[in-house]
Amino acid sequence: MDKRFLLVFSLFCCIEAVTLLKCITCHLRMKSDRCRRGYGVCLAQRDESCMLLRIYKDYALQLSYMVCQRFCRNLTFTFSNRTYIHHCCEADYCNKR
Ligand SMILES: *[C@@H]1O[C@H](CO)[C@@H](O)[C@H](O)[C@H]1NC(C)=O
Ligand SMILES: *[C@@H]1O[C@H](CO)[C@@H](O)[C@H](O)[C@H]1NC(C)=O
């Protein structure tokens, strides 16, 4: 492989490593229970931020979902009597519930 390419690549890798935002991941969390599936940490890539999605039914929290989300937007909408609240944030581990 080209040495110049390797140099650029390794610089890129290490700059990224120190600046990447860390977010909590959880693909399924019921009510006040702990995370049941997909618990961990993701590194937000370009255009990603941390997202927490909460789904309420009849004003009670039913489940929540946490990921690194591309083009994340704060958004709330109601569909079939369920309310979906997307919350985006840009600080390490800020998408904890
Ligand atoms: C979403 O809302 C939070 C808190 O209200 C705010 O800090 C954040 O900048 C907003 N994010 C976007 C992408 O609008
Ligand atoms: C939503 O809630 C209302 C009032 O509780 C109920 O009448 C309606 O059938 C519900 N709709 C759905 C799609 O569950």
Q: Counting atoms of ligand 2 from 1, which one is nearest the CA of 81?
A: 1
Residue 7, pLDDT above cutoff 80: no
Q: Which pLDDT does position 19 carry in this prediction?
A: 75
Residue ID of nearest Cα to ligand 1 atom 13: 73
- Name all residues whose Cβ lies below 6 A of ligand 2: 80-81
Give per-residue pLDDT as tens, 8-67. Answer: 655 555 555 557 899 999 999 987 678 999 999 999 999 999 999 999 998 899 999 999
Confidence of residue 5 (pLDDT cuts 50, 70, 90): low
Phi, psi of 2 (to 5 degrees): -65, 130
Residues of the domain holding 82? 21-89
Does pTM surpass 0.75? yes
Residue whose CA lies nearest to ligand 2 atom number 8: 81
Atom from ligand 1 closest to the CA of residue 74: 1
Q: Which strand (E) or helix (H) includes residue 87?
A: strand 82-89
- Strand boundaries in 31-81, DSSP class E: 35-37, 40-43, 48-57, 60-70, 75-79
pLDDT at 87: 98
Asked if residue 8 is part of any domain, the answer here is: no
Any ligand 1 atom below 6 A from CB of 88: yes
- What's 29's domain CATH number? 2.10.60.10
Total domains present in the chain: 1
Q: Is 59 helix (H, G, I), strand (E, B) or coil?
A: coil
The predicted pLDDT at position 43 comes to 97
Q: Where are the alpha helices (DSSP H) in the chain?
A: 3-19
Residue 9 lies in a domain: no
pLDDT in tens, 78-94: 999 999 999 999 999 99
* Kind plus residue range of the DSSP H or E element containing 1: none
